[in-house]
Chains A and B, each alone.
Chain A
């Protein structure tokens, strides 16, 4: 089946640093989504990308849909303590006449004040 390789698995950074994480696959995706999950809560949608090459920002967050449609990255600039959490990428792929969403295993971000 399709797999999304999300890296890094975890990151430990200082407040104020920039962060970059990415997802890659051997499969082609039609949509890329980035979610953040805080402890004890469900994932919250951060950014949705619908076109190859698309670059979208949401405050300090920027994400891009790779031109090959097989990858996406998420950048966080000037990190703050509330950025702590697990970030998931998700790719939408056509399979068997329908579309399904495949999730990466997450990047756990720790921000030291």
Chain B
């Protein structure tokens, strides 16, 4: 069974640009969660999607947005990039989401560098 796939693995952008990251969950998983990982802050929750609907949202500005498609694939978008957005962005899928006995399975992340 294929794991969670994130593309691209690496991205370099300049301040003010926008970026879209993609995540394909494990087959059959309907929930996709996104996290930002930085050395100082650890894993910070961005949002969770389930059946194309945003179910939970973390404390990030509106520049961070996401969506989920009918095949459960998800994208997240960051507009007007800032230097502080440089981080590893992790996507995780699960059968039913962050509630219930359904652990998250992570992809290998997209390393975003903003210059």
Contact = CB atoms under 8 A, between A and B. Distances in A.
Interface in B69-109: 90, 92, 97-101, 103-109
Contacts of B4: 42
Interface residues of B, number: 24
Contacts, number: 54
Main secondary structure of the interface of B (DSSP, over half): strand
Contacts of A45: 103-105
B107 A104 contact: no
A101 B56 CA distance: 11
Q: Give chain A's interface secondary structure class.
A: strand
Nearest to A88: B43
A101 B106 contact: no
A100 B98 contact: yes
A58 interface: no
Contact of B106 (A44, A98, A99, A105): A44
B94 to A, nearest CB: 9
Contacts of B97: 99
Interface string A82-100: 0000001010101000111
Interface of A: 31, 33, 35, 40-45, 48, 50, 88, 90, 92, 94, 98-101, 103-106
